[in-house]
A and B are shown apart, each in its own frame.
Chain A
């Protein structure tokens, strides 16, 4: 029997049809994957199931009974829980306190019982974790485990996981899949949302493919009765996912470059984070002209501080940073910009741009005091600013109605393109890119990676900071791994295997061993 049946679900947002007459079933002990590009309507469909949105049309049955899920609470009571892409944990509370948050109805926290139950769940699914550690001390992967334990703690049967692997390292992904399997074996049903085909194939019983709000394919991997091989099904899915869309951008080859002289060098740089704790410990490396140096690492190991300290947004506690021999240690952002260093932040809305200003106003962030954008650095030239915005929209294929559109109305991918356009157009000598493709669909991601390659082939040096091993491998000449604020080995890309880097990212192999 099906645990969940969604029939004819339609959801509109103003003019946009996010879900168009979608049928979706989930069986018991089944992993059913929702596959699709960003904006295909996967998350919307699941938000309807978890009570965040109300469908405009359609019916939902849970265990054969028709239900009206008008709030997240009702969804939870029906045994359905969702793991969001953005975590909802309170950093200053312990793991156990976070789990009790929202689930506990008593005045005093039943910590003893809770701990017992916690340990049972952790044991059953192999989620080893100390319940008393504070959440801010955990990596993103570990935080995700806490979220999952929280769902189990509430006694749920159906788990919706929204892009759960995007924050995990390759080794953590293996662990995660093992956990999914044990969940399935213990009778839980899982809806797995992803845009990664490979993952969908490895783990699912069924795959439903969405495209532009419509269901375009459903594949049952258990009963391949049509006698098709795996490859054939794969091709079929790729076709329905991408048919008639703009041709997928080919991954460009980086032309052979001769590495020039050293342009950026860090000598034993130590930096504190916002909490005043050491975030980087004696980091040293150098970057040569035209080189792409990848910095791999699990999020929160000092990457943000590394990027900020080079860009001048953070003070150095000790050590020295120089560009082309000029000391830039603790110099201002503008001074460093003038030396040709530009930083594409990964926090697009929080730091990179201002949602309430127009696209044009956002792209002049680095050059508003220069001609022709302002007259002698005083009076803004609105016409020149708007033209410049339009020009960047064209050259970077930003999907925006005009340069006067407010940035908050654009999608994440287009905001990212605008940010890249802004920094790239400053003719950088050194470019710091932090997680440039995070959360973007395949096509946008490839476009952005190609742009970075183009920059490099023009002689720009790139520091590529990312937790995505694939993009690090694709772009980098050399790869450094950062772990707990220390830069472990820097390996040449040809020699380094994914496994080796993955192990370093988890701190399993230390320098010199």
Chain B
């Protein structure tokens, strides 16, 4: 029984190992010491309090975004415009949260700010969602195009009307440290992590154990069967995209309220490029997302440490991420071919 549950994890684990080995070869080729680089990566990223705390903090937006992606991807809808939805959610919160915090009880203002972030992300996906649901216009192109609009629009807002410090580096009003998301007791990690974990588990449950999730899965596997079953396909597409956009916006709220304290100009963390591969590596399984999200954020955090300690470029972790995905595709292919070996 347990073996059966572990077998699907072999693919991602193998992909990670193969990526690290290939990455090591690349380091050798550019004249760096892979053993030293990796030992710094793991020692600083996983072996220090700071490394672990930072990694756990960094995984929060990935968890929240992945929760939304699992739901839409299961329905076969590809919302690739996470970055834009994130930025819209973040800038709305960056603008409104400082106003709320001074007028309403702190916890209520967090709640409302989260809602604002969610709504911001959801609003940003309404146009692609309508185009997809009503006219079957490709959502990949539409959501991606909205990214560019979002980036430039938020950039205009933060440098213009929403800039709280004219003449200085443009950003929204900085939320005082004492008014940011509280920490989980005995740690330096804000409660966003709890929210993120709850959301990813909820998404997992939603897809597998609810009638709505069943409709999403039917649509994702075979649209004609969904129509045969009388499922309102347009509604599923619309709701699914709104949920994923909204959660991207909520991740924006998390970053503003828990980490940055403001929306700064030229800020675009590009979580989409980490979350999409992550969700694929996890095979759309919410529980599997958790360790993988940790690993991805460990790579990001550890990569920064490593670049300082072993003078390896920060971008090297992107190389590892890309290699992981490539190897994962290869393994998927082999598994399909060698069903006997992997299954049964």
Residues on A lying within 8 angstroms of B by beta carbon are 14, 311-313, 332-334, 336-337, 343, 345, 347, 350-357, 361, 365-366, 368-369, 374, 377-380, 382
Contact = CB atoms under 8 A, between A and B. Distances in A.
Contacts of B104: none
A333 B213 CA distance: 19
Interface stretch (B115-123, B222-230, B241-249, B256-264): B222-230
B224 A380 contact: no
12 contacts: A332-B230, A332-B232, A336-B230, A350-B222, A351-B224, A351-B228, A354-B217, A354-B222, A368-B211, A374-B211, A378-B212, A379-B211
B30 interface: no
Nearest to B209: A380
Contacts of B221: 354-357
Contact of B230 (A333, A374, A382): A333
Nearest to A14: B340
Given A354-B221, A357-B217, A357-B221, A379 B227 contact: no
A368 B224 CA distance: 17
A313 B228 contact: yes
B225 A380 contact: no
Contact of B229 (A14, A347, A366, A382): A366
Contact of B225 (A353, A368, A374, A378): A353
A23 B217 CA distance: 47
Contacts of B211: 368-369, 374, 377-380
Contacts, number: 63
Contacts of A336: 230
B214 A378 contact: no
Contacts of A374: 210-211
Interface in B189-220: 208-214, 217-218
A379 B209 contact: yes
Nearest to A382: B209
A345 B228 contact: yes
A352 B214 contact: no
A27 to B, nearest CB: 40
B225 to A, nearest CB: 5
Nearest to B214: A368
Given A352-B228, A380-B208, 11 more contacts: A332-B230, A333-B227, A347-B224, A350-B222, A351-B228, A354-B222, A357-B218, A365-B229, A368-B214, A369-B211, A382-B209
Contact of A312 (B214, B222, B230): B230
A366 B229 CA distance: 6
Contacts of A380: 208-211, 213-214
A334 B232 CA distance: 9
Contacts of B230: 312, 332-334, 336-337
B314 to A, nearest CB: 40
A483 to B, nearest CB: 26
Contacts of B227: 313, 333, 351
Contacts of A377: 211
Given A332-B230, A333-B230, A334-B230, A365 B225 contact: yes
Contact of A333 (B210, B212, B224, B229): B229
Nearest to B218: A354
Nearest to A376: B211
Interface in B293-344: 340
A354 B225 contact: yes
3 tightest Cβ-Cβ pairs between the two chains A and B: A333-B230, A334-B230, A354-B221
Contacts of A14: 340
Nearest to B222: A354
Contacts of A378: 210-212
A291 to B, nearest CB: 25
Nearest to B205: A379
Contacts of B213: 380
